[in-house]
Structure 1
Amino acid sequence: MKARHDQHFLIDRRAVRRIVECAGDIAGRRVLEIGPGEGVLTDALLAAGARVCAIELDPALVDGLYEQFSSQIAAGELEVIHGDAVKILYPPFDIVVANLPYSASSPITFRLLDAGFERAVLMYQREFAERMAAPIGTPACGRLSVMVQTFADVDLCFNLPPRAFSPPPQVSSTVVRLTPHEPPHYIADRQMYAVVVRELFSHRRKTVRNGLRGGRNAIGGENVERAIAGLPDEILSLRPEELSLMVFAMIANLCTPPG
């Protein structure tokens, strides 16, 4: 069986139960599921009392969900949306529980953080999950670590082997719980913050000074020079992996035009 649209269907029923447990009390809550596939996790979420909105890209799987859950759809317990979770407008929701398509993990995660939620329990490729949870200020951290940990706590819940899926992927997987929090330091413009973090890690072998200048097209030449003029040499001589969240916020705020 070949995976369609980068989907590997979870078949381990024990893992499904653990995922729902990680989501906490979801009875009566609006739960967003991305990539429901053949509906194994969907069924468990409904059994736990959630009101589920499932976004599925594959039209054949959408048809299967309508057939399998016709009574729950008629009762208003389940809504199935045919669309691309990277692009479509998300419906209102409280909690996210999903086995994400690995190739779209990053853009979907950033979209979810922008949309806002109470908590999310998400399946990722294990390497991706470990990069997300990498401690800030260490060689293991990167753009993903900084952007996610700026806005959420990251808890690695448990790992799953390839045999837990059909067809089995070539990598192990990890279930992650994200709990949003306010940024630990003031950020004047979230969009500028995201651009600065992206550009610095695009030049991660360079110092902050040279990384900012390498990203001047995206950040803005005047913004870059204003930031460089306002930063002490001990920060400008560091590399992005050595920076704290406070320093990332400082740099982004200096890059943000006044007013």
Structure 2
Amino acid sequence: MSAPRDQHFLVDRRAVERIAGSVEVSGRRVLEIGPGEGILTRALLDRGAHVIAVEIDPALVEELELTFADELEEGRLEIVPGDAKKVEIPPFDLVVANLPYSVSSKITFRLLDIGFEVAVLMYQKEFAQRMIAQPGTSDVGRLSVMVQTYASVKPILELSPASFRPRPQVRSWVVRITPHEPPYPITDRKVYADVVRVLFSHRRKTIRKALRLGEDAFASETIERAIAALPEDLLQRRPEDLTLEEFALVANTLAGC
């Protein structure tokens, strides 16, 4: 069967074994997004996981139901048809998945919002590199800041295009994501998320100018009060140069205004 949309089926069995074995799944509820033809699903089930598989493609859902009829009957597998960006997902403990490249960002943000113990996720290499980009580098952006605020990210495996069918044009990274509390106090998480979004929407502007362009998120009076309260040297810098502590300072100042 050909891959739907932008999904590339993982066919490298050694990689599958490494991914499935990178976290203890026995007896745990494991969310798998985009199971495709079920090669990783099988490896997780064989390790004693209870798998919740979310698949958007109806043809693949039908194929999975046939392939895993026994596991479905035994209750060791749940198949959730639908779009992982918005479908209701049953409770889970862990996430192990090969995410479709085009929705990696939205699904990652949703998973962090829902919460989990550990996630082992596959991304396009360049996307994963942005997740761990540090302040002051060209790769840092909204993704870097939001992910690093709420989780630690550790690359554990790199895969070539030959590991997939059809072969993508890029290399892939498998990373381990472990949620944690923000390293600096955040008064309002929504305000924090809005600040990060607004600033990186105008990443070539100074913080002062970028905030003043954020009237879709904050009232102009609130922005001006926050600008008056923030340090001048911070206001003159650009978003890519701020640390996580400084993003928290901007957000907390706005939340207090």
TM-score, length basis structure 2: 0.97
Residue matched to 1:19:
19
Mapped contact 2:8–2:164 kept (Cα < 8 A): yes
Q: How far did residue 146 of structure 1 move?
A: 0.2
Residue matched to 2:182:
183
Q: Give the residue type in structure 2 aligned to 1:111.
A: R
Residue matched to 1:121:
120
Superposed CA offset, 1:51-87 (max 9, x none): 0000000000000000000000100100001000011
Q: How far did residue 2 of structure 1 move?
A: 4.7
Cα distance in 2 for partners of 1:116, 1:137 equals 29
Q: Give 5+ residue unaligned stretches, structure 1.
A: none
Q: How well do the aligned residues superpose, as a CA RMSD in angstroms?
A: 1.1
Residue matched to 1:233:
232
Identical pairs, percent: 60
Cα distance in 2 for partners of 1:2, 1:77 equals 27
Cα distance in 1 for partners of 2:180, 2:222 equals 28
Cα distance in 1 for partners of 2:14, 2:47 equals 15
> What secondary structure sits across from 1:157 in the alignment?
strand
Residue matched to 1:153:
152
Q: How far did residue 137 of structure 1 move?
A: 4.0
Cα distance in 2 for partners of 1:71, 1:166 equals 26
Instruction: Report the number of matched residues.
Output: 257
Superposed CA offset, 1:128-183 (max 9, x none): 00011112343331111000000000101111011100011111111011000000
Q: Structure 1 pair 241/249, CA: closer, same or farther in 2 (3 Å)?
A: same
Q: How far did residue 25 of structure 1 move?
A: 1.1
Residue matched to 1:5:
5
Within 5 A, what are the aligned runs for 1:51-62? 51-62=50-61
> What secondary structure sits across from 1:211 in the alignment?
helix
Q: How far did residue 257 of structure 1 move?
A: 4.9
- Which consecutive segments of 4 or more residues in structure 1 shift more than 6 A? none
Within 5 A, what are the aligned runs for 1:23-34? 24-34=23-33
TM-score, length basis structure 1: 0.97
Superposed CA offset, 1:75-125 (max 9, x none): 010000100001112210000000001000000000000000000000100
> What secondary structure sits across from 1:53 in the alignment?
strand
Q: Give 5+ residue unaligned stretches, structure 2.
A: none
Cα distance in 1 for partners of 2:77, 2:135 equals 39
> In the alignment, is residue 50 of structure 1 matched against residue 49 of structure 2?
yes
Cα distance in 2 for partners of 1:137, 1:256 equals 25
Within 5 A, what are the aligned runs for 1:212-251? 212-251=211-250
